[in-house]
C-alpha cells in the first residue's frame, strides 16, 4: 500500500532545473503533482539550451550558485517548502581534466545555497542529490553497498560530491536544517550524453542512420545496477515526502551487469552491425566498479520500487536517440 505523507509541499525549488536530471524532475512534479508550484534555478549561459526541455509551468530564476547575492535573491523569491539540489558539474571523466573548476563549482555552489536558505529564515525540506561515486572502489565484502560503507572517492567529481554530502550533515547538525542526502546509483537518462548508456544509444542511432561507422567506448568491465530516470526522479519526490533529515539513502536498481553487457543488450536491439572500438580518451585514470546498492533503507522509508524494467528503459533510451538523429541528423 502506498504511504501517505503529512508534509505539505506547495512550492519547490530545483537547482539545475534546465539540466538533464532537473528537467525530468520538474516534468514529474508538473505532471503528477499539479497543485505544486515549481521553481527552478538556471544560469544565464545554460538556460537557452536546457529550458527547451521544461514545461512552461516551471518558473525559472536566473541565478548562478557561485554568486551568493543572486542565490539569496532567488531563494527569497521562490520561498520553497522543498529544495532539490541537482545543480553540479557532473562529468566524471572531465573532472580529471578540470578538477579545480569542478571542485569550486560543486562545493562553493552548495555552500552558497545552504547559506542562502539559512539566512533567508525559511525552513524547507532540502534534498542533496548525490551519487554512488562517493563510495569509490568498493571491496567485495562491502557489496551490496550500505549507507554505512566508507566513502573513498577516486575522482575530483566524486570528492566534490562527498564534500556536498558532508556539508549537508554539517548544516543539519549545526543549524537543524532539514537536509536529506540521497545517493543515486547508475540510471538511464536520455538527456545526459556523458553517461555511457546514453552515449552508446546515441552512437547506435548515428550508425543506423549512416552518420557514423563505429561505436567508441571506454572501460566495459565496471559492474553496475541500472534504473530508469523516470523511476529516479519519482524516488527524489518520495524522498522529500518520507525520508528523515540528517539521514543518507541509497537509490538504485536490481538489474546487475557489466557496462559491456549493457552494450551488448543495446546492440541486440538493432539489425545493423555495430563495430566497436576502445577509445583511450574515454578511459578514466581511476574507475569504480561493483556499484551495487542495498536500497533496503530507502524502501522501508518510502515504499518506492522501480516501475520500469531494464529492457523497457533501454528501448526507451534508443527510441529517444533515433528520434533525435532523425530530427537533427549528424548534429544529434
Based on the domain organization, do 140 and 262 belong to the same domain?
no
Whether residues 57 and 151 share a domain: the answer is: yes
Do the domain assignments include residue 143?
A: yes
The reply to whether 6 falls in a domain is no
Residues 214 and 129 in one domain: no
Instruction: With respect to residue 201, please indicate whether it lies within any of the assigned structural domains.
Output: yes
Say if residue 168 is in the same domain as residue 262.
no
pLDDT confidence of residue 42? 87
Element (H, E) at 101: helix 99-120
SS percent in the chain: helix, strand, coil, step 5: 45, 15, 35
Helix (H, G, I), strand (E, B) or coil at 294: coil
> Residue 19: which CATH number?
3.40.50.720
Check if the beta carbon of residue 187 is closer than 8 Å to that of residue 229. Answer: yes
- What is the domain range of residue 236? 11-188+227-252
* DSSP at 285: S
3-state secondary structure of 151: coil
Averaged in consecutive runs of 10 residues, what is the pLDDT profile of the chain (332 residues)? Answer: 82 95 96 97 63 79 96 98 97 96 98 98 98 96 97 98 98 98 97 95 98 98 96 98 98 96 98 97 95 98 96 96 97 94
pLDDT reported for residue 17? 95
For residues 99 and 247, membership in a common domain is answered with yes
Query: Is 1 part of any domain?
Result: no
Output the domain CATH number for residue 281: 3.90.25.10
Q: Take residue 296 and report the three cell numbers written for it.
A: 533496503
Number of structural domains found in the chain: 2
- Between CA 7 and CA 124 the distance in angstroms is 11
Quick one: which of 189, 218, 210 has its CA closest to 320? Answer: 189
Q: pTM of the prediction?
A: 0.95
- Shared domain check, 92 and 67: yes
> Three-class SS of residue 13?
strand
pLDDT of residue 45: 58
What's the confidence (pLDDT) of residue 327? 96
Amino acid at each position: 500500500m502506498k504511504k501517505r505523507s503529512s508534509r505539505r509541499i506547495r512550492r519547490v525549488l530545483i537547482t539545475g532545473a534546465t539540466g538533464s536530471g532537473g528537467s525530468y524532475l520538474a516534468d514529474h512534479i508538473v505532471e503528477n503533482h499539479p497543485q505544486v508550484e515549481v521553481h527552478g534555478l538556471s544560469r544565464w549561459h545554460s538556460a537557452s539550451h536546457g529550458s527547451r526541455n521544461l514545461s512552461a509551468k516551471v518558473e525559472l530564476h536566473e541565478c548562478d550558485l557561485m554568486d551568493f547575492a543572486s542565490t539569496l535573491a532567488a531563494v527569497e523569491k521562490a520561498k520553497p517548502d522543498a529544495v532539490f539540489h541537482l545543480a553540479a558539474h557532473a562529468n566524471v571523466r572531465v573532472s580529471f581534466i578540470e578538477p579545480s573548476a569542478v571542485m569550486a563549482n560543486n562545493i562553493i555552489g552548495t555552500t552558497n545555497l545552504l547559506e542562502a536558505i539559512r539566512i533567508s529564515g525559511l525552513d524547507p525540506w532540502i534534498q542533496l542529490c548525490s551519487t554512488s561515486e562517493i563510495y569509490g572502489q568498493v571491496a567485495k565484502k562491502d557489496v551490496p553497498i550500505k549507507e554505512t560503507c566508507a566513502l573513498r572517492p577516486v575522482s575530483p567529481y566524486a570528492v566534490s560530491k562527498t564534500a556536498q554530502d558532508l556539508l549537508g550533515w554539517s548544516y543539519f547538525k549545526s543549524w537543524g536544517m532539514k537536509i536529506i542526502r540521497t545517493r543515486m546509483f547508475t540510471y538511464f537518462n536520455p538527456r545526459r550524453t556523458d553517461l555511457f548508456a546514453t552515449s552508446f544509444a546515441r552512437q547506435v542511432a548515428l550508425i543506423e542512420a549512416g552518420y557514423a561507422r563505429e561505436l567508441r567506448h571506454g572501460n566495459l568491465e565496471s559492474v553496475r545496477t541500472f534504473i530508469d530516470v523516470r523511476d529516479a526522479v519519482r524516488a527524489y519526490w518520495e524522498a522529500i515526502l518520507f525520508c528523515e533529515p540528517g539521514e543518507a539513502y541509497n537509490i538504485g536498481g536490481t538489474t546487475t551487469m557489466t557496462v559491456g553487457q549493457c552494450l551488448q543488450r543495446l546492440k541486440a536491439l538493432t539489425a545493423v552491425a555495430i563495430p566497436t572500438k576502445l577509445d583511450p580518451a574515454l578511459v578514466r585514470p581511476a574507475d569504480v566498479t561493483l556499484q551495487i546498492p542495498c536500497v533496503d533503507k530507502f524502501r522501508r522509508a518510502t515504499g518506492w520500487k522501480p516501475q520500469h524494467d531494464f529492457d523497457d528503459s533501454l528501448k526507451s533510451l534508443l527510441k529517444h536517440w533515433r528520434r533525435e538523429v532523425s530530427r537533427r541528423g549528424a548534429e544529434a
